[in-house]
């Protein structure tokens, strides 16, 4: 059964912490993927997609990265960029603008797909967070002191699922469209009765941050830092609002750039972009770096802890190099709940509500939360051995 009331929602708050974020930020966020492959190893000179005329025959010991292109990954040349946004629709935590310098890295062209995640689960027997009964002793650490223990029939394996309400609802009450759904997990993203049959090339969803990290470790990769994610998402464009430029998405785009919500959130989705929910990872055109779904489709976990003032701290340090985020999470909207950053927005994002498909938009979600619009992709350092091509 689904929890319908806000009160009941609060009770299971530890695993649904993201929903607060959405509510408080005016976002429904709780929440992508590929292109052509470089043919040469990355070098200190940068972009491996461009053969280096003078050093393609250098001995391997001069190379700084894998000598073969990791399958399904793209090389993001290092560089300096301006992180954050000050556009009128930018949220407070996207400010101030600050300079970031990054070492080059590999990043998955697409979000991790159902087929890829299945390989991981088949190989390891891994059980995801959503498939486990919540541990009240852990949950209560993330809740205000004195929060009563939920009834046993709510403390079951479950996850958050979006349901479109029948009509317009107040946008400050996310419980109108998020339900705590027993039986919802990565194989059943919308709960019992739903499945991922025929969706091998869709992004895996209903994965917690812990699940994403477990997958990444198995694949010999990592989750991207927030700075890596934003740099990669910008696709080589400088100071743009979207990976395609400045043009705001509309409900009638002849050629939509990404999978978001058209119509009236959350009760009427026209699906004008072709998808009412998530889309296959190659459904929309990639960005300038050949990366798919760096806006819309599903949110993507990053490695960083979330703090709203993270950029204030970074800006005070001058140009920051390969930042990994704050040492500890703090979200004043939910001070007891640690949260990691999510990026990219999802098929639920709409300009009226959160426009989180902007390259600088940030969201935050507790590590044990999973939803049917959150997935992830991985990165790999340049000096890592190329992982199994299929992972």
Binding stretches for Cu ion (CB under 5 A) = 27, 29, 345, 349, 354, 356
Q: Distance between CA atoms of 75 and 65, rounded to whole angstroms?
A: 10
Beta bridge partners of 269: 263
Q: How far is the CB of 229 from Cu ion (least distance, A)?
A: 16
The least distance separating Cu ion from the CB of residue 297, rounded to whole angstroms, comes to 12
- Identify which of residues 266 and 387 has a Cβ nearer to Cu ion in the complex: 266
Select from Cu ion, Ca ion, none the partner in contact with residue 9, using the beta carbon and a kind-dependent cut-off of 5 to 8 Å. none
Strand partners of residue 305? 340
Nearer to Cu ion, 120 or 261 (CB): 261
Residue closer to Cu ion (CB basis): 3 or 354:
354
Q: Which residues pair with 106 in a beta bridge?
A: 75, 380
Question: Cβ 161 to Ca ion, closest distance in Å?
Answer: 17
CB atoms within 10 A of CB 212: 27
CB of 43 to Ca ion, least distance (A): 40
Residue 275 binding partner per list Cu ion, Ca ion, none, with a CB distance cut-off of 5 to 8 Å that depends on partner kind: Ca ion
- Chain length of the chain: 391
296 binds, among Cu ion, Ca ion, none (CB under 5 to 8 A by kind): none
Residue nearest Cu ion, CB atom distance = 349
Give one DSSP letter per residue of 349-386, joined into a string: --TTTT-TTSTT-EEEE-TT--BTTEE---EEETTSPP
Closest approach of Cβ 345 to Cu ion, in Å? 5
| C-beta closer to Ca ion: residue 259 or 337 | 259
CB contact set of 118 (below 8 Å; sequence gap of 6+): 200
Judged on CB neighbours under 10 Å (0-12, 13-18, 19+), 158 is buried
With CB under 5 to 8 Å by kind, the binding choice for 286 among Cu ion, Ca ion, none is none
Contact positions toward Ca ion, by CB under 5 A?
A: 259, 273, 275, 347
Nearest distance, CB of residue 1 and Cu ion, angstroms: 27
Residue with Cβ nearer Ca ion (18 or 346): 346
177 is in the binding site of which of Ca ion, Cu ion, none (Cβ under 5 to 8 A by kind)?
Answer: none
Which does residue 273 touch among Ca ion, Cu ion, none (CB within 5 to 8 A, set by kind)?
Answer: Ca ion
CA gap 108, 292 in Å, rounded: 9
**Closer CB to Ca ion, 143 or 349, in the complex:** 349
Among Cu ion, Ca ion, none, the one that 354 touches (CB under a kind-dependent 5 to 8 A) is Cu ion
Q: How far apart are CA 117 and CA 303, in angstroms?
A: 18
Asked if residue 347 lies in contact with residue 29, where contact means CB atoms within 8 angstroms, the answer is no
Angle 150-156-162 from CA coordinates, rounded to 5°: 95
Q: Residue 262: is it exposed, middle or buried by C-beta count within 10 angstroms (0-12/13-18/19+)?
A: buried
Nearer to Cu ion, 48 or 344 (CB): 344
User: At closest approach, how far in Å is the CB of 28 from Cu ion?
Assistant: 5
């Amino acid at each position: 059964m689904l929890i319908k009331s806000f009160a009941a929602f609060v009770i299971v708050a530890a695993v649904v912490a993201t929903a607060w974020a959405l509510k408080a930020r005016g976002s429904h966020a709780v929440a992508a993927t590929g292109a052509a492959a470089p043919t040469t190893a990355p070098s200190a000179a940068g972009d491996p997609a461009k053969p280096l005329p003078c050093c393609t025959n250098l001995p391997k010991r001069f190379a700084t990265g894998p000598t073969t292109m990791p399958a399904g990954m793209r090389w993001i040349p290092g560089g300096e960029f301006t992180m954050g946004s000050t556009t009128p629709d930018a949220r407070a935590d996207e400010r101030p603008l600050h300079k970031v310098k990054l070492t080059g890295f590999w990043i998955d062209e697409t979000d991790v797909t159902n087929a890829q995640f299945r390989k991981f689960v088949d190989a390891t027997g891994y059980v995801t967070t959503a498939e486990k009964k919540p541990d009240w002793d852990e949950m209560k650490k993330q809740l205000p002191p004195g929060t009563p223990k939920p009834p046993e029939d709510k403390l079951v394996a479950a996850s958050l699922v979006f349901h479109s309400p029948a009509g317009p609802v107040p946008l400050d009450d996310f419980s109108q469209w998020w339900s705590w759904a027993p039986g919802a997990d990565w194989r059943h993203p919308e709960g019992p009765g739903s499945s991922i049959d025929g969706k091998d090339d869709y992004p895996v969803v209903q994965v917690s941050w812990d699940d994403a990290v477990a997958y990444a470790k198995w694949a010999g990769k990592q989750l991207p830092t927030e700075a890596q994610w934003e740099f990669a998402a910008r696709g080589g464009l400088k100071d743009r609002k979207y990976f395609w430029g400045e043009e705001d998405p509309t409900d009638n785009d002849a050629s939509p750039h990404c999978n978001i919500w058209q119509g009236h959130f959350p009760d009427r989705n026209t699906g004008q972009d072709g998808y009412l929910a998530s889309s296959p990872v190659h459904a929309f055109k990639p960005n300038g770096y050949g990366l798919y779904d760096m806006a819309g489709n599903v949110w993507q976990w990053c490695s960083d802890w979330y703090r709203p003032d993270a950029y204030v701290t970074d800006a005070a340090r001058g140009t920051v190099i390969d930042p990994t985020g704050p040492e500890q999470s703090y979200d004043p909207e939910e001070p007891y709940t640690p949260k990691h950053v999510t990026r990219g927005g999802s098929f639920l994002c709409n300009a009226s509500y959160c426009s989180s498909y902007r390259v600088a938009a940030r969201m935050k979600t507790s590590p044990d939360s999973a939803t049917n619009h959150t997935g992830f992709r991985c990165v790999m350092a340049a000096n890592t051995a190329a992982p199994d091509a299929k992972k």
